[in-house]
Amino acid sequence: MQDKKTPSPTAYKQSNVMTNILFGSRWLQLPLYLGLIVAQAVYVFFFGVELVHLVAKANQLVEADIMLIVLGLIDVVMISNLLIMVIVGGYETFVSRLNLAGHPDEPDWLSHVNANLLKVKLATAIIGISSIHLLKTFINAENLSDKVLIWQTIIHMTFVLSAVAIAYIDKLMSHNNDQH
């Protein structure tokens, strides 16, 4: 006679198959991360085009134009950094371990990455990108309407408040986890 708490061999096999399907489904994210790598390559190309433009036209540009182009280059670098965080951190967190322990190029943050830390880092990166856009807007303010300036500032402050909220929630959650 079989105990009611012990699953039958058939039920165990069905449960094991379902577990394997559910756990294996994380690999469906792989094409998404590969697509982000392609997007990063596009940003590298765009950076090169803008850098060539800057160098080729350097003697014809005024300081404000040079500053706007350089801020655009910084923006591309920051977006590229954001892509790396999503690609590497997301893959490590949600798909599979990268096994980089001891590798001289392993980023510091990767050894303790989790979904909450990734959210805070992404929010911080988005604020940096938004700051660059807002600075470009302020430099070019004479050519823009007050409405554009106000809305971009409101959007930037929304990003800042969202990041603060995410960090606060993460702190609350980690504090509650420490108590349990």
Q: What are the tens digits of pLDDT across the range 98-148?
A: 887 778 887 777 777 777 778 888 888 899 999 998 998 888 888 889 999
- As a whole number of angstroms, the distance between CA 66 and CA 93 comes to 40
Q: Cα(149)–Cα(125) distance, rounded to whole angstroms?
A: 21
pTM over 0.85: no
The answer to whether the CB of 86 falls within 8 A of the CB of 39 is: no
Closest Cα to residue 71, out of 122, 137, 124, 126?
137
pLDDT number for residue 17:
86
pLDDT at 8: 67
Q: Which residues of the chain have pLDDT under 70?
A: 1-14, 176-180
Residue type, 33: Y
